[in-house]
Structures are given as structure tokens and as C-alpha cells.
Amino acid sequence: MKYTEANLGRIFILRLEDGDSIPETIEEFAVKKDLKAATVLFIGGVDKDSKIIVGPEDGTAQTPVKMVENLVGVSEALGVGTIFTNETAEPKLHLHSACGRSKETITGCTRDGVDIWKIGEVIILELLNSSARREIDHETGFELLEV
């Protein structure tokens, strides 16, 4: 385990609207507000055909091939994630969500595109004085958190 410390900064409350897309909308907001590090909470509705990354196809592969599921209908969703800047100082959102409709739930990463259905609520807690950032791991190609 590696760690770094941070202090709590600004707190933002966002109302995402019908058709807004995650991660783009949150990352654009982070650029506008000069966010370097944050934790993110999300709750709301997500639209059909939103893409959820549900895991690597083969967990033993050296460079995992991702598996993507499209939501078949409008779903309720909740998620938690982080924002950290990458090697080019761009804020990158890493948000995992559980999206459910009736008795079906899909859980995974939102980075391939999740569209809001009617309303999404996001709370962003800025983290200050942290050295954490995302760096590309050359073995997997993932942008991993470095502290």
C-alpha cells in the first residue's frame, strides 16, 4: 500500500440534466474549476444504450481486453469515484456505478460514456495538498493512481 494525505477544499453540487454525458460533463467542470484532485458521489437516472465497462475479459491477460455492456433501458444509478490529473495535467474521472432496472443490475466503470436520463446529482469534494496523480502503466495501458 502507498498513500498520501490531502485536505478538504471546495465542495461543489452539480445537477446534471437530460442528455449530459459522464465522464465528459464532470471532466469539463473540473477543468473550468481547476480541480486537480477530488472525490465524486453520483446518484440519478441513466439512459438506455449507456456504456458500462464490466471488467476485463480475461483477468490473467498481460494487457486486459475490456468488456462493455450497453444498458438496455433507462436505469437508476449510483456511483462513487475520484478525479486526479494525468501526466498531461488533465483532470480524469474514474467513476464506478451500479445501474439497475427492475431486478437487473450492471456495475462497472462509466468511462466509455453514460448519458443522464432526466436528472443526475453529483457532489464533488475537492482534495487539496495531495501529490496523487494518474500515470500510464506501460504493462496494462491503464492510467493508474500514483501517490
What is the pLDDT, as a whole number, of residue 82? 98
Query: Residue 147: its pLDDT value, please?
Result: 94
Report the Cα 17 to chain-centroid distance in Å: 17
pLDDT at 35: 98
- Three-state DSSP state, 90: coil
pTM reported for the whole predicted model: 0.94
What is the mean predicted confidence (pLDDT) over 97-119? 96
CATH code that applies to domain 7-146: 3.30.1330.80
Work out the percent of the chain whose per-residue pLDDT is above 90.
87
Chain-wide mean pLDDT for the chain?
95
Exposure string over 6-43, b if 16+ CB within 10 A, otherwise e: beebeebebebeeebbbbebbbebbeeeebbbbebebe
Predicted pLDDT at 113:
96
Whether 140 shows a pLDDT value over 90: the answer reads no
Give the 3-state secondary structure of residue 30: helix
